[in-house]
A and B are shown apart, each in its own frame.
Chain A
Amino acid sequence: MRKALFYVPLAAFLALSLFLLSGLFSDPRDHGSALIEKPLPAFSLPDLQQPTRLVTAADLKGEVTLLNVWGLWCPTCNAELGFLTELRQQGVRIVGLYYVQPVDAAFGDTFDINTLRLDVQDKLAEQGDPYLLNIVDEKRSLIFDLGVTGAPETFLIDRNGVIRHHHVGDINPQNWPKIQQLYQQLQQGGSDAP
């Protein structure tokens, strides 16, 4: 009994070390998403190409979709465009959710969707256009309802408009295989999947 007690501090120390060691390999940005297995929140936001047309959650249903939160102001998103374009060529359906940063009215900044459309057109012509369409979230309302913390972030949405995966950070050739697996599962699941 005494001998066993002698090893307790050592065991506790080792357990603590292992716990802290595992922390070194964890991603501090990864703290789960509250929206997994929940339907896409209701929204009605303008399409970047035709601002008079309002896109709703129903428009995304029917096919497995990647909803990619991005913005021209975000360097990682721009770096991601090339790879996402490759994915589009492979047949992945990608919808952009444009993250508009707050404008500082005090500095005379204003938001103009037409200027944005032209800027985005230039950028996509240069880097590749992965998007079927772009939803512009000027007030970040859908972005807020989705629990987006920044850009880029990507949601995997199934045929029924249910969020199946929330990826924080860019999608690249290293992490795509994991997401692709889920994507293919959902595609094969058929339209009768729950």
Chain B
Amino acid sequence: MRLNGLLLSVLLLALPASATEDLLQFESAEQQQLYRQLTAELRCPKCQNQNIADSNAVVAVDMRNKTLELVRQGQSHDEVIDYMKQRYGDFVHYQPPVQLSTIWLWLLPLLAVLALGWTVFRRSDSSQTAVVGHADEQPDHSDLDAQLQAMIDEATAANRQQPKE
């Protein structure tokens, strides 16, 4: 618990590091929100896995400026993303498009879950049929108890019939 608190405070300390936004003027809070969202979603094509809000590479700065310009013109989220994709390709957006080449990103996890579910199902099914009669499930002991009781009775009866020598 204390460790969690410590981790959380360290994470909170790291927050201002990504909030290096210049003093930009927006017409509305919506535009500001859109600009924030876009710069977080767009990926810097020069860097290895940084969004353009996070990078100071020349191309990232240019993309931020272009984003700002387009947002100020009143373009929508999708319009700005398309504008960037036309120039820098699908790579530039962190959300990959559903295509023949990317369909596996969705299919593979689905297939894995299905295959796993199927295996588990098969397994529980076969263990039920194969292991019936063994002590796998809650076995019925009444039979054994009866047998044991019968043996005890037999033994005591035999004992009585054979008195001490």
Chain B, interface SS category: helix
**Which among A51-59, A125-133, A143-151 touches the partner chain?**
A143-151
| A 15-51 to B, binary, CB cutoff 8 A, 1 in contact else 0 | 0000000000000100111110000000000000000
Chain A, interface SS category: loop
Q: B73-95: which residues lie under 8 A (CB-CB) from chain A? A: 85-91
Q: B53-68: which residues lie under 8 A (CB-CB) from chain A? A: 57-59, 61-63, 66
Please tell me if the beta carbons of B91 and A144 are within 8 angstroms of each other in the complex.
no
Please tell me if the beta carbons of A31 and B62 are within 8 angstroms of each other in the complex.
no
Q: How far is the CB of A185 from chain B (nearest CB, A)?
A: 24
Which residues from chain B contact A144 at a C-beta distance below 8 Å? 62-63, 66, 87
Size of the chain A interface, CB-CB below 8 angstroms: 17
Please tell me if the beta carbons of B48 and A35 are within 8 angstroms of each other in the complex.
no
Q: A102-B58, A150-B58, A150-B59 are in contact. Are A34 and B45 (CB under 8 A)?
A: no
B interface residue count range (under 10 / 10 to 19 / 20 to 34 / 35 or more): 10 to 19
The total of interchain contacts (Cβ-Cβ below 8 angstroms) comes to: 41
Please tell me if the beta carbons of A102 and B87 are within 8 angstroms of each other in the complex.
no
Please tell me if the beta carbons of B46 and A149 are within 8 angstroms of each other in the complex.
yes
Whether, in the assembled complex, A121 has its beta carbon less than 8 Å from a beta carbon of chain B, the answer is no
Which residues from chain B contact A146 at a C-beta distance below 8 Å? 87
Say which residue of B63, B66, B89 sits within 8 Å of A32 (CB atoms).
B89
Which residues from chain A contact B86 at a C-beta distance below 8 Å? 34
Say which residue of B48, B58, B66, B89 sits within 8 Å of A34 (CB atoms).
B89
Q: How far is the CB of B115 from chain A (nearest CB, A)?
A: 8
Whether, in the assembled complex, B119 has its beta carbon less than 8 Å from a beta carbon of chain A, the answer is yes
Please tell me if the beta carbons of A147 and B58 are within 8 angstroms of each other in the complex.
no
Which residues from chain A contact B58 at a C-beta distance below 8 Å? 101-102, 140, 150
Say which residue of B48, B57, B62 sits within 8 Å of A140 (CB atoms).
B62
Say which residue of A32, A101, A150 sits within 8 Å of B91 (CB atoms).
A32
Please tell me if the beta carbons of B62 and A147 are within 8 angstroms of each other in the complex.
no
Please tell me if the beta carbons of B119 and A34 are within 8 angstroms of each other in the complex.
no
Which residues from chain A contact B87 at a C-beta distance below 8 Å? 34-35, 144-147
User: In the complex, A145 Cα to B62 Cα: how many Å?
Assistant: 11
Q: How far is the CB of B69 from chain A (nearest CB, A)?
A: 11
Could you show 11 A-B contacts with beta carbons less than 8 Å apart? A31-B45, A31-B89, A33-B89, A34-B85, A102-B58, A102-B61, A102-B62, A140-B58, A144-B63, A146-B87, A149-B46
Chain A residues in contact with chain B, CB under 8 A? 5, 28, 31-35, 101-102, 140, 144-150
